[in-house]
Amino acid sequence: MDTKISILFYARRASTTTDNLLPIYLRVTINGQRFEISAKRYLEADKWSIESGKARGNTDEARGINAYLDMLKQKVYNFQKVLIQEGKPVTLETFKDKWLGKSERPQMLLQIFQQHNDQVTQLVGKDFAVGTLKRYETSLKHTRSFIQWKYKAEWKCRLN
């Protein structure tokens, strides 16, 4: 599936600050779905160009804001590239998680051990004997007990 991504910067007039400054927002649209977030930059209304989505002029303030907006645009494209490199689909959800720094939880030892035992359970009578499964279950219980003793932590893991 070809991902269509577009980037827009706009000044939100409805959210004017007490100093009459407009907050600048970033809108990323991926396959028709929008993600909007504040760019954490503010500007006077007459210094914002709606057409170009940038600050007007050649002042230090305008150059600084425009450089920051260009950096945000590059960050959007970098995240898109990273998602593609990781083999993940570029969707609003995956992009948003990447932008907000949410990551997948790594699998923990006891979870992997339990998944293994579940697979062995399905193969009992074909590739594994019942006694082998019982030994794996015993090993998981001992491993869990050791982790609880050593790290004084309660680990949630379904045990058969």
Residues in the chain: 160
Computed over its alpha carbons, how large is the radius of gyration of the chain? 26
User: Does the pLDDT of residue 25 top 50, yes or no?
Assistant: yes
Q: Are residues 93 and 142 in the same domain?
A: no
Average pLDDT estimate for 139-156: 82
Residue 153 DSSP code: -
Q: Are residues 49 and 125 in the same domain?
A: no
Domain end among 99, 118, 142: 99
pLDDT at residue number 10: 95
Q: Which of 109, 108, 112, 128 is nearest to 120 (CA)?
A: 128
pLDDT at residue number 82: 92
Residue 79 falls inside a structural domain: yes
Give the structural domain span for 89.
5-99
Buried b (16+ CB within 10 A) or exposed e, 122-147: eeeeeeeeeeebeebbeebeeebeeb
Instruction: Say if residues 21 and 44 touch (Cβ distance below 8 Å).
Output: yes
Model confidence pLDDT, tens digit, residues 58-106 = 999 999 999 999 999 999 999 999 999 988 899 999 999 999 888 766 6
Confidence of residue 160 (pLDDT cuts 50, 70, 90): very low
As given in the structure block, the two tokens for residue 113 are 């051990």
